[in-house]
């Protein structure tokens, strides 16, 4: 099986894995010309930051994986937790200072993981 070595390969694979046509993806991204998706996949055009974020959100993959092909591909599963569960837990934190603390703690854990890998 071919590895997803280039940005265009990864974008194409994301779309094909969900059995979407280029025209379907263009509609989802509110792009009037479906050929733009083809240009991204053939690397004739560089997607904007906004488009990269849309890919990340739609396909639940990290922007790092989209751009560089490294780090964890999926952001949908986190040690047994799904994103919607994590967001629900985070949303249940009412005080902003506690939310900030939760984000800071996650940042520390991510950094620790990077140091131990």
pLDDT in tens, 2-55: 456 899 999 999 999 989 999 999 999 999 999 999 999 999 999 999 999 999
Structural domain boundaries enclosing 17: 7-68
Rounded CA separation 74/59 (Å): 9
Residue 104 lies in a domain: yes
Q: Are residues 17 and 55 in the same domain?
A: yes
Whether residues 61 and 93 share a domain: the answer is no
Q: Is residue 2 part of a domain?
A: no
Number of domains in the chain: 2
Do 45 and 83 belong together in one domain?
Answer: no
Q: Please, what is the Cα angle at 10 between 61 and 32, to 5 degrees?
A: 90
Q: Model-level pTM?
A: 0.61
Q: Dig out the tokens for 56 from the structure.
A: 């990340």
């Amino acid at each position: 099986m071919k590895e997803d070595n280039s940005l265009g390969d990864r974008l194409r694979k994301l779309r094909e894995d969900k059995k979407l046509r280029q025209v379907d993806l263009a509609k989802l991204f509110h792009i009037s010309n479906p050929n733009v998706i083809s240009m991204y996949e053939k690397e004739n055009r560089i997607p904007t930051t906004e488009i990269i974020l849309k890919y990340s959100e739609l396909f639940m993959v990290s922007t790092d994986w989209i751009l560089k092909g490294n780090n964890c591909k999926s952001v949908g599963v986190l040690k047994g937790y799904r994103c919607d569960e994590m967001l629900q837990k985070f949303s249940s934190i009412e005080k902003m200072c506690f939310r900030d603390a939760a984000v800071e703690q996650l940042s520390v854990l991510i950094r620790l993981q990077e140091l131990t890998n």
